[in-house]
Structure 1
Amino acid sequence: MSERDDPGIIGRRVQQLRVERGLTQKQLAEPAYTPAYISTLESGRVRPSDDALRHLADRLGVGFEELATGRPARLVTDLRLRLTEAQRTLATGEAEESATQYARLLTEADGLDLAEVRAAALLGLGECAVETGELGAAREYFERAEKALGDDVPLPARVPALRGRALAHYLTGELRYSVYLLESTIDELNRGGLHDPDALLLLYASVIGPYMDMGAHARAAQAAELALALAPRSDDPALVARMHRSVARTLLAEGRLAEADASLAKAAELYRQLQLRTELANCHWMRGYVYAQNGELERAEAELRQALAMLSAKRAALYSSQAAVELADVLHRRGKSEEAAALLHDVLSDLSSERGALHSAAAHRLLGIIAEDARDTEAAEEHYVRALSLLERAGAAGDLADLCRLLGDLLRRTGRVEAALDAYRTGLGHRTAPGTTTLGPAPAQPPL
C-alpha cells in the first residue's frame, strides 16, 4: 500500500484498538506473531508489513485500509462511488452540476489527504471547464491533476490529464503546443513499451483535430488508422465512440463521405447507449457536415439545428459555437443569409481571441463571404483581415491558405493588385505539400 501512516501513528492506533477490544498482546499476536513483535510495533519501532497489517486488522475487526491510514474503508468507497456519479452527470451533459459534485469531492479529498480521489476530482473539474468553455480554468485543473498523481504514477494513468491539457490548448488555438504534448506522450508510451490500448486510443483520437487544422492530413490519416486498429482492444465504449467521431473527420478530408457517415453512425449509437449528450450532439454536427459536403443542405440543416439545440441546452459553449458556424454556412448556402449572419454575430459575442480562436476565425471568414455576396466589400475585407490575424496566431495552415485566397480575390476585384499579390504570396507560404508540416519526426508507432 503506497499511502500509509508512519509506524508511530500505526502503532498507537493498534494499541488503542487492542485496549478497546480487551485483548492482550499475546491474544492479538497469535498464532502468526509473538507478543514481543506486537510490543515493538505498538511502540513505533518497526514498520509492519502488509501481511502483518492484514493479520492485525482481522483480529481487531477493522479493514486493512482503516488500520493503515485511519480512514474507514467505507468512506473511501463512498467517495469513489460519488466520483462515478459526478462522471455520469458530466456524461449526460450537466456540466455545471457535475462541477459542483467534483468540487465537493475535491474538498473532502484534500481534508483526508487522498491523492487518488483528489486527482480524479481535479480531472473532472477540468473536463467540466472544457465543456463550459472556461479554458484557462481547465488548463489549471488538468495541471493540478498531473501534480496530484505525481511522477511515480505510471504514464498511462496520467494520460487523461495530459490529454486534457492538450485539448484546452487546442481549443484556444495553440495547435503546435497541443500536438507537441500529444505526440511526445504517444512517443514515450510506444518507445517505453507502455502499449496501453485505452491511453493510446485517447491520444490518437485527440491528435486528429489539431493535425487537420494544421494541414497535416497524412499524419491525421495515420493517427486515424492507428486509432481504428486499437479500438477492438479498448474496453471503454466512450473512447471507441470518440475515436469514430475523430476518424470521420479524416475520412471527410479524403472525400470518403459514405465511410465517414458510417463511422459517425457507429459513434452515435454508442453515445446513445452511454447517454453522453454532448458527444452525441457532436455526432449530429459531424453528420450535418457530411450532408453539407455532399450537397444535401436540407438534411444538413436539420442535423445541425439538432446539434446546436442539444449543445446550447447544456451550455457547451465552444462546441455549440462550432456547430453554429457550420449551421450558418448551410443557411447562407440555402439563401438564409440574414439568419446566418445573426447566428455568427452571436458566436463572436461569446468568444474571444484567447477563447475559441479557430471558431472566431471561422465566423469572421463566413461573415466576410456573406458581406461579399451582398457587395459590401469594406465589411468583407474587415472580416477577412480579422480572421487572418486569428489564424496566424493559431498556426492553422490549411485555413490560412484558403483565407489568403479569398482576401486576394477580393483585393484584386477592387483594383488593389499589389495588395492582392501579397495576400496570395502569404497563402502560398502556408500551403505546404500534402501531409508535411514543420513538426518534428512522427512519434513511434505501437506494435500492432
Structure 2
Amino acid sequence: MNRGVEVDGNGTQGIPAHEPADIALRLAEARRTLNSGAAEDAAALFAALRDGTARLGLVPERAAALVGLGDCALESGDLAEARDHFAEAELLLADEPLPCRVPALRGRATAHLLAGELRYSCYLLETALDELNASGLRDPGALLLLYTAAIAPYMDMGAHARAARAAELALGLAAQVDDPALVASTHRGVARTLVAEGRFAEADASLAKAQELCRQLHIRTELAHCHWMRGYVHAQDGNLAAAERELRTAREMLASKRAPLFTVQVEVELADVLRRRGRADEAAALLAPLLSPSALGAERGAVHAGGAHRLLGLMAEERGDNDAAEEHYCAALSLLERTGAAGDLADLCRLLGDLLRRTGRTDAALNAYRTGLGHRAAPGTTTLGPAPPLPPRRLVG
C-alpha cells in the first residue's frame, strides 16, 4: 500500500520510523472515544490526526482519520459533512484494493440512507459487494461491513428476502471478525429481519447478547442503538411498556452524547408507543419540535419525518379533525415518495385512502390506494438488480 512517504533533499525518507505506529495508536484511541459516545471529543482527535497525517504524507492513516470524522458527523447528524469526509477518504484510496475503501464507502452509503436516499444507498453497497465477491478478495471484515449496512435499506424498501439473505451472510462472517462494535451492529440488523418473520423472541435474545457485549467493552454508542432496536422489537410485538422503557433509555443515552439526529428519530418511535398507550397529548408534545427542518426533513431523516407526520395525522383523526389529518398525511406522502420506503408508503396511502373514503371522496381514495400499490411495484422496490452474491465458500462456513 502506498503511504505517500515524504523524501528529503538527500533522497532519504523524512518520516521517523515510529511515526506510523504512533498514529495507529492515536487512531485507535480516537475510535474508542467515539465508541464511548463522545463524538465531539473524538472529532477533535480525528481532525488533529487528519491534519498531521496530511503533513507527513501518510495516505492510509489520513483516510482512516477522515472515515473517523465522517462517523462523528453521522453521530452528530451532519449528513452533508459526513458524505464529504467519506468521499475524500475514498478519493485518497482510489488506487488501493477495494477492501481498503470499504469503510469509507459504507459510511457514504449510510449517510445517503439516513438522508432518505434508499435506492442510492443500495446501489453503492450492491456494487461494492458485486466487485468484492467477483474479485476473489477474501476479506471477511469488508464483506461484513457491506452486508450489515445493506440490511436497513433493504428492509425500508420492502425487500425482506434480500435483507434476510444479507443478514444470514453477515452472521456467517461475524465469527471471523475481531470488531465487537461491528458484530453488535450485525446482531442489531439481524434482529430487524427476525421481526419481519415474526420471530420476536429470537430478535430480543439476539439484542440482549449484543447489549451485554457492548456493556462489557464500554461501547456506549452501539449500546444506545441496541436499546433503540430492542424498543422497536417490543413495539412491533405489542409489548408497549417494555418498548417505552427501552426507547426512553436509548433517547437518554443519545441525547446525553449529543447525537441529535438519532435522538429525534428515537423520539418519533417513542411518540408512536405513547399514542398506542393512550397518551396522545404526550406524543403530540414530543412530536411538535421535530418537524422543523433543523430536526427532521427531506434531507435529514426523511423516513422518520414522514413517520412524525403520519402519527400527527392519526391523532388528528382520533380527535375528529379530518382536515388536519389529511394535511399531515399529504406532508408525509411528499416526504416518503422521495425515499422509496415501500412499507411506509403503502401504509400511509392506506390511511389516506381510508380517510378520503370515509369523507365521501371515493375517486380521491382510489387514487391514494393506487399510489400505494404503484410504489410497492416501482423499480427499486421489486427490482434491485442481482441479489447479494455469496462470498467465497470459506468465509461462510
What TM-score range do you get, normalising by the shorter chain?
Answer: over 0.9
Q: 1:157 aligns with which of 100, 109, 124?
A: 100
CA distance in 2, matches of 1:189, 1:181: 12
Q: 1:354 aligns with which of 281, 299, 317?
A: 299
CA distance in 1, matches of 2:287, 2:20: 48
Q: Which residue is equivalent to 2:384?
A: 439
1:212 lines up with 2:155 in the alignment: yes
Q: Quick check: 1:248–1:264 contact (8 Å CA) kept in 2? A: yes
Q: Which residue is equivalent to 2:135?
A: 192
Q: CA deviation at 1:81?
A: 1.8
- 3-state SS of paired residue (2:297): coil
CA offset digits 1:415-442 (Å, max 9, x no partner): 1111111001111112349x96121121
Equivalent AA in structure 2 for residue 256 of structure 1: R
Q: Which residue is equivalent to 2:375?
A: 430
CA distance in 1, matches of 2:98, 2:288: 43
CA distance in 2, matches of 1:6, 1:325: 51
Q: CA deviation at 1:294?
A: 2.3
**Share of identical aligned residues, percent?**
65
Q: 2:88 aligns with which of 144, 147, 150?
A: 144
CA distance in 1, matches of 2:40, 2:387: 38
Q: Which residue is equivalent to 2:363?
A: 418
Q: 1:366 aligns with which of 299, 303, 311?
A: 311
**Aligned runs of 1:47-58 on 2, under 5 Å?**
none
CA RMSD in angstroms, aligned pairs only: 1.8
**Aligned runs of 1:226-237 on 2, under 5 Å?**
226-237=169-180
Q: Which residue is equivalent to 2:215?
A: 272
List alignment gaps of at least 5 residues for structure 1.
Answer: 14-67
**Aligned runs of 1:36-51 on 2, under 5 Å?**
none
Q: 2:250 aligns with which of 298, 302, 307?
A: 307
Count how many residue pairs are aligned between Structure 1 and Structure 2.
390
Q: Quick check: 1:398–1:430 contact (8 Å CA) kept in 2? A: no
Equivalent AA in structure 2 for residue 439 of structure 1: L
- 3-state SS of paired residue (1:164): helix
CA distance in 2, matches of 1:346, 1:274: 35
Q: Which structure has the greater CA radius of gyration?
A: 1
Equivalent AA in structure 2 for residue 255 of structure 1: G
Q: Which residue is equivalent to 1:44?
A: none
Q: Quick check: 1:119–1:146 contact (8 Å CA) kept in 2? A: yes
CA offset digits 1:321-360 (Å, max 9, x no partner): 2211111011111111111111112222312211111110
Equivalent AA in structure 1 for residue 173 of structure 2: L
CA offset digits 1:235-290 (Å, max 9, x no partner): 22221111000000000011110110011112111211222212111111111122
Q: CA deviation at 1:181?
A: 0.4
Q: 1:404 aligns with which of 349, 352, 377?
A: 349
Equivalent AA in structure 1 for residue 107 of structure 2: G
CA distance in 1, matches of 2:3, 2:42: 27
CA distance in 2, matches of 1:244, 1:6: 43
- 3-state SS of paired residue (2:37): coil
Change (3 A) 1:408 1:245: same
CA offset digits 1:67-86 (Å, max 9, x no partner): x5211123333222221111
Q: Quick check: 1:404–1:423 contact (8 Å CA) kept in 2? A: yes
User: Normalising by structure 2, what TM-score?
Assistant: 0.94
Equivalent AA in structure 2 for residue 232 of structure 1: A
Change (3 A) 1:374 1:262: same
Q: Quick check: 1:184–1:443 contact (8 Å CA) kept in 2? A: no
CA distance in 2, matches of 1:436, 1:361: 18
Q: Quick check: 1:4–1:69 contact (8 Å CA) kept in 2? A: no
Q: CA deviation at 1:200?
A: 0.8
User: Normalising by structure 1, what TM-score?
Assistant: 0.84
Equivalent AA in structure 1 for residue 231 of structure 2: G
Q: Which residue is equivalent to 1:89?
A: 33
1:319 lines up with 2:274 in the alignment: no
Q: Which residue is equivalent to 2:46?
A: 102
Q: Which residue is equivalent to 1:130?
A: 74
CA distance in 2, matches of 1:408, 1:271: 44
Change (3 A) 1:364 1:314: same
Q: Which residue is equivalent to 2:324?
A: 379
CA distance in 1, matches of 2:173, 2:286: 39
CA distance in 1, matches of 2:94, 2:232: 41
CA distance in 1, matches of 2:6, 2:184: 45
Q: Which residue is equivalent to 1:389?
A: 334
Equivalent AA in structure 2 for residue 341 of structure 1: A
Q: Quick check: 1:198–1:239 contact (8 Å CA) kept in 2? A: no
CA distance in 1, matches of 2:324, 2:3: 62
Q: Which residue is equivalent to 1:332?
A: 275
Equivalent AA in structure 1 for residue 359 of structure 2: T
CA distance in 2, matches of 1:323, 1:5: 45
Q: Which residue is equivalent to 2:16?
A: 72
Q: CA deviation at 1:91?
A: 0.5
Equivalent AA in structure 2 for residue 268 of structure 1: Q
CA distance in 1, matches of 2:179, 2:30: 18
- 3-state SS of paired residue (2:18): helix
List alignment gaps of at least 5 residues for structure 2.
Answer: none
- 3-state SS of paired residue (2:136): coil
- 3-state SS of paired residue (2:338): helix
Equivalent AA in structure 1 for residue 302 of structure 2: A
Q: Which residue is equivalent to 1:166?
A: 109
Of the structure 1 ranges 202-211 and 229-238, higher mean CA displacement relative to structure 2 is found in 229-238
